[in-house]
Amino acid sequence: MRTLVVTGTGTGVGKTVVTAAIAALAQSVTVVKPAQTGVATGEPGDVQEVARRAGAHVRTVELVRYPDALAPEAAARRAGMPTLTCDDVVAAVRACRTDLVVVEGAGGLLVRFSPAGLTLADMARALEAPVLVVTSAGLGTLNTTALTLEVLAARGALCLGLVIGCWPSAPDLASRSNVSDLRAMAPLLGVVPEGAQGHPRDWLGPELGGTFDADLFAARW
């Protein structure tokens, strides 16, 4: 069983769309969401969105759900609900019986899941799983991406590469310039077009089951 952890440089950069794209290209896959926040009981969360986008073959697991749209530890505290331990996450992943398990985080890499300071970086290290970082295209992305990669290295977790979660249909100067700088930080393994137009195989590189070519993409800009 192969395990991949998906994080982002912040909230709203496209983690769920990228997770769904990876799942859509896999034949045997489970998507695990350790903590879902900001969604009431009975409402669809991120794993339901992944299944909707990726197809009925995708198995999904959501470990805990908190109603407030906050970081998991803060949301659990407000709701008076228990928080996760790293052992909870490892056990849930180990129980999966598919060839690929994709673990989707909440917010950015250092968002807290428990009062003890559990983060997605800790989970990745415990799972011995590489981390895919979903980032944005425009102004500010170089700083947030560099910080995320620096923390991954400091926490002893391996970065598999980067995916730009939303490439604008009319990229500005910053977005175009950032392509080469992002590639200098880590392998660029995919780019999702604005509106997620097209097929996931065109968005993701061979490492993730697709046909995206970073060299050809970069040459355009």
Give per-residue pLDDT as tens, 190-216: 999 999 999 999 999 999 999 999 999
Other C-beta atoms within 10 Å of 81: how many? 13
Domains defined along the chain, listed by start = 2-219 (3.40.50.300)
Lookup: tokens for 175: 């977005």
Count of CB atoms within 10 A of residue 76's CB?
Answer: 23
Reported as a single tens digit per residue, the pLDDT across 80-108 is 999 999 999 999 999 999 999 999 999 89
Using CA atoms, how far apart are residues 108 and 175, in angstroms rounded to an integer?
21
Residues designated catalytic: 33
Please tell me the distance from the alpha carbon of residue 134 to that of residue 14, in angstroms, as a whole number: 7
Place of tokens 């890499």: 109
pLDDT of residue 155: 93
Residue that the structure tokens 């560099």 belong to: 146
Residues 100/4, Cβ–Cβ less than 8 Å: yes
DSSP character at residue 35: E
Three-state secondary structure call for residue 200: helix
Q: What pTM was computed for the model?
A: 0.96
